[in-house]
Structure 1
Amino acid sequence: MESRCPVTIDPAGNDIHGEAARIREQGPVGRIVLPGGVPGWSVTGHEAAKQVLSDPTVSKDPRRHWLAYVNGEIGEDFPLIGWVLMENLTTMHGKDHTRLRRLTAGAFTPRRVEAMRDSVRQIVSDLLDDLASAEPGEAVDLKARFAHPFPAQVICDLFGVPAESRADMLRGGEVNVDTTISPEEAAANVEQWHREMHEFVESKRREPGDDLTTDLIAARDEDSRLNDTEMVGTLHLLLATGTEPVMNLITNAVWALLTHPGQLELVRSGRATWRDVIEETLRVQAPVAHLPFRFATEDIEVCGVTIPKGEPILVHFAGVGRDPEVHGGTAAEFDLTRDDKDHLSFGHGVYRCIGSPLALLEAEIALSALFERFPDLTLAVSPEEVEPQVTFIMNGRRTLPVYLTAKVPAGAGAPA
């Protein structure tokens, strides 16, 4: 362990995949240094990640199992303090995690998700109508005008968030994944986000609706299985994870297809499906890159590496999807004909994302409708000019400028 040369994590996430490759040089489990100089472990191997994600002795609760935090060595000045202060499925372990998961999982059953198909299609149609109003030849930021507002509207409709409150309530989750902000900004964001969500919950108590927030309040008030802090934290998590990862999945899929026209042609010719596009995007461009935190409740061995009790572990989902032990020498290539598109981008075992059925439905409807409506969709800049999202936790693009229709050659007149 002493001979390992740790990789210092770039808070801005300028090279997610290059950084994962450097971590992988140590093996499937590598040493890293987090912002603030905090040492930790990063898992880039597929099998190692499955072990860590399914090991019952690995906790997600920093308040109980991060020894440096419990002992006061990690304070409020830790740059990622927002990920310590939350109380939701992201930071729960054991019975508490199981209890919260059971209370929320019913919202995303295959039957309930399928019942949302028509409303999801309508949201997509309305957003595409809005895109169509762009001036001919105008470069449009597809992330800002489609990939973000689409899942945001779906999840806010599901939880009954009023239109005038959506931007403020979603902003907390967006700020929370920005790993370049100061510790003071991170703590202030959690506090404000918490306050806004409490106010929203109280408004729903006064005026219940036909939505999942009202259902959660009923569960809280009927048998107290969900306290107010946990309910607010759960809403934080579901609104954020219902928006940001889906936004990145759609953005990454569009970017991959526009930079690999041969792969797009496979879809158009029927030799590949939209589900192939989604699964290969989830593998090679995981929307969540490097997720905090997990902690061994006792010393554990992962692929020959001993991870001591109480040290932070991060699963590098973007790295796991490109594990050459699983996908060979072409692991970094976007290839819809690949037989094995196996990935862990939705997690694994008891920590598999409860919203994955909805995310898959949203992505398939959005991508198929987008390319049907705008078959001449092209990038408005060179691929190198599409900058990464400012975070090492998420894997997306800051913007995605596109032309919706074929550009008219300069000097060409209108048809007679």
Structure 2
Amino acid sequence: MDPQGGCPHAANARLLAKGPVAEVILPGEVEGMAVLGHEELKEFLTHEDVAKNAEHFTALQEGRIPEGWPLHTFTTVAGMTTADGADHRRLRSLVSRAFTQRRVEALRPRVEELTGSLLDNLAAAADANDGVADLRRNFAFPLPMSVICELLGVDPGNADKLHSLTTHVVSTSITPEEVLASNKEMVGMLAQHAAARLADPKDDLTNALITAREEDGDRLSEGELIGTLLLLIIAGHETTLNLVTNAVRALCAHRDQLELVLRGEATWLDVVEETLRYDAPVAYFPFRYPTRDLEIGGTVIPRGTPVLAGYAAAGRDERAHGERADTFDVTREDSRNLSLGHGPHYCLGAPLARMEATIALERLFTRFPDLDVAEAEKVEPRRGSFVGNSVVVLPVRLGEDRLTAAAQPR
């Protein structure tokens, strides 16, 4: 695996041509595997002999994985992403009670309000820079980060710092020293936030988690609380940030598809679902471990092997999506995808991510229908990680009507 990441699709196509499961070398020369085929990944994600807890990670248990390994946090953080069976159900139940559909729907007016304000900011940024603005920085990032900060009751002034730290947490290319320092600072910030909320309760998700931890016999431990906050912050903004960014890139590269949506021949939810399939916001998610030698797609995955879930590859698997799997088509009859997970570990925040992305894209292109990617994006700098899948910046031109549009009521 290239620790610097990069666009995964060409490599995935080559691997899928050889088979749905591939052997990979992780950072530090750690041997692993990736499940890339749609049906194989679907089977793997729900297999009873596949675990999430790192007690099943052979190399880690044998002391061959250093503490500063770039992917160490994914393996050891306490919480839903590393729990199995009854323990996972306990943690998910506690978080589900706090992360309810009612709370998500209650955020809709706020998401719409934030979207309008950020579109003003995007127009102002473009006006100050010869008509070009970074859509990722000025729109795709602050929308989900603002929402998750409000949901958790986190000081919005810490948003940039939290994003910087989470970028390090999911990075696969930083040094062991940077790994340890970033993790320590992130845990410190979240512990400080939890302590402040314990001393001064508010009506937010953090307090709901603390209350569940205090009142329920199956409460969250201190480590599980911090791990859950970490998960919610990372997944609560990184996934939507990449999803919106990738959708805008796809629509700008396929203007005919954008026109279909603007004419009402497809919906913005269709755009979101097709983007999840065509250019998944997470390329490879760590880790799962077979608890016995396991055959998937004709390949044996040895017990205790760290396995990546290849969401981006599964989205373009021709066996599942046909010969046009690498074509962006918002009218596709079957846009099924695994990009937000599948089975017991399916993303709890999926409804929020879909709502944010749908609102963001509809308002963006309704207000700026001529928006297009600027020429500078041809150099496509990617993230220093093979986990997330998106570009680092997305410079766009809003079109000649941006000044008029900025003055229009929303």
Is the pair's TM-score, using the shorter chain for normalization, greater than 0.5?
Answer: yes
In the alignment, structure 1 residue 42 sits paired with structure 2 residue 34: yes
Q: Cα gap change, 1:273/1:374 in structure 2, threshold over 3 Å: closer, same or farther?
A: same
Deviation, 1:54, is 0.6
2:66 counterpart residue number: 75
Alignment of 1:6-405 (within 5 A): 9-62=1-54, 64-134=55-125, 135=127, 137-223=130-216, 225-381=219-375, 384-405=378-399
1:175 partner SS: helix
Match of 1:4 in 2: none
The residue type equivalent to 2:34 in the other structure is S
> What is the one-letter code of the residue matched to 1:211?
D
Larger mean Cα displacement after TM superposition, 305-314 or 77-86 = 77-86
Secondary structure of 2:323's match? helix
Structure number having the greater helix percentage: 2
Segments of structure 1 that go 5 or more residues without pairing to the other structure are: 1-8, 409-416
The alpha carbon displacement at 1:167 in A equals: 2.7
The equivalent of 2:405 in structure 1 is none
Task: Give 3-state SS (helix, strand or coil) of 2:396's partner.
Answer: strand
Quote the Cα distance in structure 2 between the aligned partners of 1:222 and 1:407.
55
User: For the residues of structure 2 that align with 1:403 and 1:55, how far apart are their CA atoms?
Assistant: 46
Contact 1:23 1:32 in 2 (8 A): no
Say whether the 8 Å CA contact 1:23–1:42 is kept in structure 2: no
Out of 385-394 and 308-317, give the one that drifted further: 385-394
Q: Which residue matches 2:407?
A: none
Deviation of residue 75 (structure 1)? 2.2
Asked if 1 retains the 8 angstrom alpha-carbon contact of 2:7 and 2:390, the reply is no
Identity of aligned residues (%): 44
> How far did residue 76 of structure 1 move?
2.2
Deviations along 1:305-333, one digit per CA (max 9) or x if unpaired, are 22111111111100000001011221111
Q: Which runs of 4+ in 1 moved over 4 A?
A: none
Deviation at residue 109 of structure 1 after TM alignment: 3.5
Q: How far apart are the structure 2 equivalents of 1:339 and 1:176?
A: 37
Deviation of 1:360 after TM superposition, in Å, equals 0.6
Q: Which moved more, 1:184-193 or 1:147-156?
A: 184-193
Distance 1:10 1:49 in 2: 21
Letter in 2 for 1:186: V
User: Map of 1:402-413 to 2, 5 A cutoff?
Assistant: 402-406=396-400
Which stretches in structure 2 are left out of the alignment for 5+ residues?
Answer: 403-410
Task: Give the conservation status (yes or no) of the 8 Å contact 2:376–2:395.
Answer: no
Using the size of structure 2 for normalisation, the TM-score is 0.94
Task: State whether residues 69 and 179 of structure 2, in contact with CA within 8 Å, keep that contact through their aligned partners in structure 1.
Answer: no
RMSD (CA atoms): 1.6
The CA distance in 2 between the partners of 1:244 and 1:70, in whole Å, is 30
SS of residue matched to 2:121: helix
Contact 1:266 1:272 in 2 (8 A): yes
Separation of aligned partners in 2, 1:371 and 1:214:
37
Q: More displaced, 275-284 or 181-190?
A: 181-190
The amino acid of 1:60's aligned partner reads: K
Distance 2:184 2:377 in 1: 38
One-letter amino acid of the counterpart of residue 178, structure 1: S
User: 1:56 offset after TM fit, Å?
Assistant: 2.4
Q: Distance in 1 between matches of 2:12 and 2:258?
A: 27
Hey, what's the Cα distance between the residues in 2 that align with 1:65 and 1:273? 43
Conserved in 2, the CA contact under 8 Å of 1:108 and 1:358? Answer: no
Q: Structure 1 residue 386: deviation in Å?
A: 2.7
Give the superposition deviation at 1:382.
5.7
Give the TM-score normalised by the residue count of structure 1. Answer: 0.92
* Number of corresponding residues: 399
Per mean C-alpha deviation after superposition, the further-off stretch among 50-59 and 76-85 is 76-85
Q: Which moved more, 1:322-331 or 1:86-95?
A: 86-95
* Structure 1 position 188, deviation (Å): 1.9
